[in-house]
Amino acid sequence: MTKSAPVSARRDLADAPLLVAARGGTPRHTPVWFMRQAGRSLPEYRQLREGVPMLQACLTPELISEITLQPVRRHGVDAAILFSDIVLPLYAAGIGLDIVPGTGPVVSNPVRTAADVATLPSLDPAQVSPVADAVGLLVHELGRTPLIGFAGAPFTLASYLVEGGPSRNHERTKALMHSDPRTWHALLDKLASTTLEFLRLQVAAGVDAIQLFDSWAGALSQRDYREFVLPHSQRIFTGVAEMSDLPKIHFGVGTGELLGAMRAAGADVVGVDWRVPLDEAAARLHAAEPSWGAPVVQGNLDPAVLFAGWDAVEREVRRILGEGKAAGGHIFNLGHGVLPTTEPEVLTGIVELVHTASEQQ
Ligand code: CP3
């Protein structure tokens, strides 16, 4: 297998700040992008989505492309993230689910038994071919801006499938994990295969980096994470590394106790939410595996601070840039996704501030 996608599909972005930082180099400024930058905080997004269900939008190449480009045009961020959703490959594979506005993914027939797992369909890449088409459109439109592809990690996807929807305590998920480890591992193995297929398709189509979202992994102890989750996420990172050298980012919320394990899964960059300062996160990552070199971190402005007025935002951005210097590289981001009622002007202001405050002389 070749180590990268066809040359025709891959742009040479060696000096793009996002990719330089992700590899531990010194970019000309600290790169910045926002999780959920494409979405409801933008009026132009709401207009485009009018009357189009979320999952339908995620399978329409022209819409995917346009929505992905909107925040790049408006904010001047250092990366585009593909407009899609972590549950899209499950839906495309034939699992009955919908994304309900204001709630999130809802699954018609929750997966709770060995028989449920055995009949779970796997993804045929042809079922998500519109995503590859959209990546093809985007690499032409984006110029020098890298495109981040993404997928959901097996634990977070399993939580939606087992609970049947969003969950505060993940009790059914944890019950399955602890009461029937064999079925649990069979489920995560299937989900890892689907996620890997989805990422392979994006990499082959030309994305420049990938992020694995394990948004709800922070609900687990490190012991349970290492036993029940890490091997499956590791298989995904290994599979991506076998086909390309692209930077790999691993993100979850409330994962301060899991940072070392999330890097051990095979990530080049570890996402950090706002609960752990970046210098502390870098120290934890280093302590977990001193021989791996200086860790690269992504984060970690609290998305709620964007409602506190510009003085507070500026103070926090400068603090985070300072703390990020303790790491081997820093990609500025929020600690979680942009909240829907965020004023877009605040996001634009943060991009300008991160760039000017971090510019290399
Ligand atoms: O970051 C981006 O801009 C790219 C797009 C993106 C979406 N979902 C679009 C979306 C990404 C990266 C995701 C990932 C995702 N989806 C995650 C992991 C990231 C995270 O936030 O932790 C999760 C857990 C999901 C599942 C999901 N999909 C939720 C919880 C919701 C919100 C439901 C709601 O209405 O409150 C969605 C829907 C969703 N995904 C929207 C968007 C733009 C809103 C749907 C709409 O506009 O109608």
In this structure, the residue with its CA closest to atom 17 of ligand 1 is: 86
- Please write the tens of the pLDDT for every residue from 293-339: 999 999 999 999 999 999 999 999 999 999 999 999 999 999 999 99
Which residue out of 99, 138, 173 has the highest number of ligand 1 atoms within 8 Å of its CB and is therefore the one to mutate? Answer: 99
Which residue out of 41, 47, 86 has the highest number of ligand 1 atoms within 8 Å of its CB and is therefore the one to mutate? Answer: 86
- Please write the tens of the pLDDT for every residue from 9-64: 578 899 999 999 999 999 999 999 999 999 999 999 999 999 999 999 999 999 99
Q: Is 104 in the pocket of ligand 1 (CB under 6 A)?
A: yes
For residue 169, with 0-12 CB atoms within 10 Å meaning exposed, 13-18 middle and 19 or more buried, which class applies? exposed
Q: How far apart are CA 271 and CA 216, in angstroms?
A: 13
The catalytic site residues sit at 36, 40, 49, 85, 160
The answer to whether the beta carbons of residues 252 and 258 sit under 8 Å apart is yes
- Please write the tens of the pLDDT for every residue from 133-166: 999 999 999 999 999 999 999 999 999 999 999 9
CA distances from 318 to 180, 345, 361 (A): 47, 18, 17
Q: Is 99 in the pocket of ligand 1 (CB under 6 A)?
A: yes
Measured in Å, residue 226 CA sits from the centre of ligand 1 at: 26
| CATH architecture for segment(s) 7-351 | Alpha-Beta Barrel (3.20)
Q: Is 127 in the pocket of ligand 1 (CB under 6 A)?
A: no
Atom index in ligand 1 nearest the CA of residue 215 equals 22
Longest dimension (CA), the chain: 61
Residue 176 pLDDT:
98
Beta strands 209-213 and 248-251: pairing type? parallel
Name the 3-class secondary structure at 331. Answer: strand
In this structure, the residue with its CA closest to atom 36 of ligand 1 is: 102
Measured in Å, residue 61 CA sits from the centre of ligand 1 at: 18
Summarize the confidence of residues 240-268 as an average pLDDT: 98
Q: Does pLDDT of 3 surpass 60? A: no
Residue 7 pLDDT:
42
Residue 1: pLDDT band by 50, 70, 90 thresholds?
very low
**Number of C-beta neighbours around residue 278 at 10 A:** 24
If we measure between CA atoms, which residue out of 73, 92, 64 comes closest to residue 149? 64
Atom index in ligand 1 nearest the CA of residue 152 equals 18
Q: Which residues contact 155 (CB under 8 A, 6 or more apart)?
A: 173, 188, 214, 216, 217, 220, 225, 228, 229, 232, 233
Q: Where are the alpha helices (DSSP H) in 206-277?
A: 222-224, 230-243, 259-264
Instruction: Please give the model's pTM, rounded to 2 decimal places.
Output: 0.96
Q: Is 274 in the pocket of ligand 1 (CB under 6 A)?
A: no
Atom index in ligand 1 nearest the CA of residue 67 equals 3
Measured in Å, residue 46 CA sits from the centre of ligand 1 at: 14
In this structure, the residue with its CA closest to atom 42 of ligand 1 is: 39
Mean pLDDT of the chain: 96
Beta strands 97-100 and 104-107: pairing type? antiparallel
Q: Which two tokens stand for residue 251?
A: 């993100």
Q: Where are the alpha helices (DSSP H) in the chain?
A: 17-22, 43-49, 54-57, 61-75, 88-93, 114-118, 129-141, 154-163, 171-179, 181-205, 222-224, 230-243, 259-264, 278-288, 310-324, 344-358
